[in-house]
Amino acid sequence: MFITRKIGPLLRGKLTKNQVFLASMLGCLLGFVPGFVLPGDLGGGFMQSPGLILGLLFLTLILNCNLTLFGFTLVLAKIVSLVLLPVSFFIGEILLDGPTGGLFAMMVNAPVLAWFGLEYYATSGGLVLGALVGLLWGSMLTKGLNAFRRVMAEKEENSEFYKKNSGKRSTRFLTWLFLGKKSKKSYRELFEAQKKGFPLRITGVVLTGLFIFSLWTLQAFFAGTAIRTAVQGGLEKSNGATVDLANLSLDLAAGQMTLEGLAMADPNQLGKDVFRADKMEIGLGTSALLRRRLEISDLTSIGAKSGAARAEPGELIPVAAPPAPPPAPEGEESKTIEDYIEEAEVWKERLQQASRWMETVFGESEEEAPEDREERIEFEIQEVGRARVAATHLIEGSPTLLVRKLTLEDVTMEDGEVVDIHGANLSSHPHLVSEPASFSIKSRQDRFGLELNLLAGEGGAADAKFFRKGILVDDFAGQIKTAGAPPLQGGTMDLALDGRLESKAGSVWLDLPLNVTLHDTTLALPSMKPSKVDNFSLPLGLRGPLASPRITIDDDALVNALVASGQAELAKQVQERASKLLGDKIPKDLLPGDLGGKTVDDLKKALPGGLFGGKKKK
């Protein structure tokens, strides 16, 4: 009815100083834990710090603190913590990235303590700030309570006015109405007894014991809920879009976990799923759970799909923007996707998604450079808020996620293609796993394939092989930016990549050739007559982050490829083009395919615009 009726019994009841101080301290500690109530996500952040939140709630039940004052303090502390969240985060940065980082790394990786969420900057900083606020708040309340009872005891004993009016029926009624029921003890007795009191609450001990017993007997339910949240969140982060998971069942005794109704929305087509499986069987290593590690011995699914329509469109999940492509080396002309492709944004989105998936395979590098860490933290602050930013570099000993064996067979693509996906030793922190990781995708029709093999001890490097066969040239050529007719017409195209990828600067980087082979295709190069080639192979240089690489077409490689293709007509056109630009510098008896003793470099230096036009290189 009146808030004063809640406060009155605290002042006029049997409340002791210890009960006041404990309620103040515990209320402030729990209120300053961000995961307890996240802005816009009531209770949704519980899995950030489940051990810490449950531990503080257990202490509140066990220790004989006043629950009314605890609840009142908790609400006030939560409001204050939202205002002081930047301060909590700043303190957390000092604790986790400063001189005490080693101590916190030990706690973050310790059994049981790993579930306390101390790797979150705002959580660790919030505990320290909450303890300081709780100490100040508790001291102020205990001194206030002590002063109130001392003054009232003196009034009760020495004030005739108080004695005369406190016994009136109207005074007692109004006091009861606004302040609630008073203890039968005098204020002097309350003042002298406020230091006493049993430190434990028997009912709280019993309730806590029953909860822990229930947690043990129903461990599959509670652990399944926790792991389901972690799995779903991790998949959304790597996928970049909504991930639905209808059910996760867990049998810890058998070490078996089952996912049902898994649907990962395609970030580029939110109305479709990039991967969907009705059921996935997972062999689980349970010994690592105490350290908040998920170790999967075998993950198997048969009959999954890709490209299936969703009942409801998914939503994009904020992900870090890809790094900009590096500048072209001096004297080299290279372009980005925007320079070549009309629908560049679509291709960039596809490459960004591929980069995110490969980053999942690569995991986190052993050392994160300070500047990279600062950039990552700033991005996460903007996208998910300070409460959710974690010092992931403190993870040691073993990865938070490890998949020993991955088998996804008979995965049906949108166009009917059937692919098999295999992996081994995939983890969130490959440098913490002794065996190198591997990942492969291959179609049953042998139309495309991808193979990654991480190199042990080389900090995020991998040998990569990729091929795609039978691409219709006309489908691709229509997207190439050109002032006239497409430079390629008809036939098919094969792509092949074989080289090394590296994980750095928060992305997957490459510096290798992509071999493009054309079959039965007509070339219509600038200033040259269209000519058909039966088999023409050209390496393109790819350099920079996978999500936004630079593309280089080397003049040497192009000329050599034309000569090697065995097309006399094309070689003749090269000769005519060179003759017009060089005049008598080219011998008149130059035969098709013969450069008259001059190297390609000689010709390029002499030609003011290159063999095929364009600006002269400086």
Q: Are strands 438-443 and 418-427 parallel, antiparallel or unpaired?
A: antiparallel
Mean pLDDT of the chain: 75
Is the pLDDT assigned to residue 127 strictly greater than 80? yes
Is the pLDDT assigned to residue 74 strictly greater than 90? yes
Q: Tens digits of per-residue pLDDT, 130-160?
A: 999 999 999 998 888 777 777 777 776 666 6
99 is a domain residue: yes
Last residue of a domain, one of 196, 214, 232: 214
SS3 17: helix
443 is a domain residue: no
Q: Tens digits of per-residue pLDDT, 456-475?
A: 655 567 888 888 888 888 87
201 is a domain residue: yes
295 is a domain residue: no
Q: Tens digits of per-residue pLDDT, 372-430?
A: 788 888 888 887 788 889 988 888 888 888 889 999 888 888 778 888 989 998 887 77
The C-alpha atoms of residue 394 and residue 91 are separated, in whole angstroms, by 16
Residue 304 in contact with residue 408, Cβ under 8 Å? yes
Last residue of a domain, one of 175, 199, 214: 214
44 is a domain residue: yes
Give me the helices (H) in 13-159, please.
17-31, 50-62, 67-83, 85-97, 101-108, 121-158
Is the pLDDT assigned to residue 591 strictly greater than 60? no
Q: Tens digits of per-residue pLDDT, 2-25?
A: 455 555 555 555 677 888 899 999
Is the pLDDT assigned to residue 597 strictly greater than 60? no
The C-alpha atoms of residue 269 and residue 307 are separated, in whole angstroms, by 9
The C-alpha atoms of residue 178 and residue 562 are separated, in whole angstroms, by 97
489 is a domain residue: no
The C-alpha atoms of residue 519 and residue 517 are separated, in whole angstroms, by 7
Last residue of a domain, one of 190, 214, 238: 214
- Give the least confident one: 54-63, 125-134, 341-350: 341-350
222 is a domain residue: no
Q: Which one-letter amino acid corresponds to residue 313?
A: P
Task: From 48, 39, 91, 487, select the one nearest 226 (Cα to Cα).
Answer: 48
The C-alpha atoms of residue 359 and residue 453 are separated, in whole angstroms, by 13
In which band, very low, low, confident or very high, does the pLDDT at 223 lie, cut at 50, 70 and 90?
A: low
Q: How many domains does the chain have?
A: 2
Is the pLDDT assigned to residue 605 strictly greater than 60? no
Q: Tens digits of per-residue pLDDT, 484-506?
A: 667 778 889 898 988 888 776 55
Is the pLDDT assigned to residue 262 strictly greater than 50? yes
Q: Which own/partner pairs from 574-577 qualify as long-range (CB within 8 Å, at least 24 positions apart)?
A: 574/611, 577/527, 577/528, 577/611, 577/612
Distance of CA 404 to the CA centre of its chain: 21
> What single string gives the DSSP state of each residue in 606-618?
H-TT-TT-SPPP-
Q: Which one-letter amino acid corresponds to residue 571?
A: A
Kindly report the pTM of this predicted structure: 0.64
The C-alpha atoms of residue 229 and residue 231 are separated, in whole angstroms, by 6
Q: What is the residue range of 177's domain?
A: 4-214
419 is a domain residue: no
Q: Which tokens in the block code for residue 120?
A: 């979150």
SS3 515: strand
